[in-house]
């Protein structure tokens, strides 16, 4: 592919190791579960994701990092069965409540994460990972996904190296090392003989909430893993000046939609 071989798997691992955006724990996501259920269920993003998939009513689908079921429940209405997998118990509790409200019974929940042993998981037709691939080793994660799917895989991964609008970071004086960008993934797949396709989904809002100043500060703190007093002061100034004053909310998020056949 290149004149000289490049170890993109190692490049990703090294980049992931130094980024300021560290992965959250299962306890972190437990605390976020009810908020995520309220904000992600019935979102336009779900329809955008599913519309790009090739699904039949006979398919069994594995949803990795399923969260509160934003994707799992709509998929279960179109497929034979969905296996919903997450390492957060509270996320699965939210999913089960959502399934009950929708009368969906063809769904199975499994408490499992990316780094766990997947040997007990069944081989399925389709594997999806929607906005959930925050892993330390992308090559291993992609191989695990591919090995579980008879037909194909679909995932979304953040475009750009920051979950926070860079204009906000510059204003508050927060210097970061960005996270690995999505382009690592199609290259790693191509190196393994797959021919991935790439599309893009833009959400209606960014990851930083901005309904009021306190929500804005809390959202920044969550995404960045903490900010100091001076940065918080500048963040409040930013909110008053741009969000309240100019109605300039954080930029929408853009996700790379990556699909590949495994058959």
C-alpha distance from residue 245 to each of 84, 167, 207, 222, 242 (Å): 43, 16, 21, 24, 5
Rounded CA gap, 79 and 81, in Å?
6
Q: Count CA atoms closer than 13 A to 153's CA, side-chain side.
A: 26
Give the closest residue to 207 by CA, choosing from 244, 155, 253. 253
176 three-state secondary structure: coil
Plot region of 192 (φ>0 → left; ψ -120 to 50 → alpha; else → beta): alpha
Q: 33: how many CB neighbours lie within 10 A of its CB? A: 20
Q: Count CA atoms closer than 13 A to 62's CA, side-chain side.
A: 27
Instruction: Please list the residues that pair with 107 across neighbouring strands.
Output: 82
Radius of gyration of the chain, Cα coordinates, nearest whole angstrom: 19
Give the closest residue to 255 by CA, choosing from 84, 58, 40, 13. 40
pLDDT in single tens digits along all 263 residues of the chain: 677 889 999 999 999 999 988 778 888 887 878 877 667 787 899 999 999 999 999 999 999 999 999 999 999 999 999 999 999 999 999 999 999 999 999 999 999 999 999 999 999 999 999 999 999 999 999 999 999 999 999 999 999 988 888 899 999 999 989 999 999 999 999 999 999 999 999 986 667 888 889 999 998 898 888 899 999 999 999 999 999 988 888 788 899 999 999 98
Give the closest residue to 96 by CA, choosing from 131, 72, 112. 72
Please name each of the domains of the chain with its CATH number.
8-164+176-207+251-261 (3.40.50.150)
In the chain the first and final C-alpha atoms are separated, in Å, by 23
């Amino acid at each position: 592919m290149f004149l000289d071989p490049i170890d993109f798997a190692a490049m990703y691992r090294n980049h992931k190791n130094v980024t300021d955006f560290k992965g959250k724990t299962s306890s972190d996501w437990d605390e976020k579960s009810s908020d995520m259920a309220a904000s992600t269920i019935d979102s336009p993003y779900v329809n955008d994701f599913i519309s790009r998939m090739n699904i039949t009513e006979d398919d069994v689908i594995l949803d990795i990092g399923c969260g509160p079921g934003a994707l799992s429940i709509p998929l279960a209405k179109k497929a034979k069965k969905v296996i919903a997998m997450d390492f957060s118990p509270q996320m699965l509790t939210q999913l089960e409540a959502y399934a009950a409200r929708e009368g969906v019974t063809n769904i199975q929940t499994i408490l499992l994460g990316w780094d766990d042993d997947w040997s007990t998981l069944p081989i399925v037709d389709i594997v999806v990972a929607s906005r959930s691939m925050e892993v330390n080793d992308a090559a291993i994660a992609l191989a695990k996904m591919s090995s579980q799917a008879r037909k194909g895989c679909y995932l979304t991964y953040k475009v750009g190296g920051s979950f926070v609008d860079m204009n906000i970071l510059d204003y508050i004086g927060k210097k970061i090392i960005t996270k690995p960008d999505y382009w690592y993934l199609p290259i790693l797949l191509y190196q393994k003989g797959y021919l991935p396709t790439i599309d893009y989904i833009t959400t209606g809002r960014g990851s930083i909430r901005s309904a009021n100043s306190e929500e804005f500060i809390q959202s920044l703190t969550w995404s960045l893993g903490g900010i100091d007093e001076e940065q918080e002061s500048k963040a409040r100034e930013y909110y008053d000046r741009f969000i309240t004053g100019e109605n300039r909310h954080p930029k929408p998020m853009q996700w790379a939609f990556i699909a590949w056949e495994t058959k």
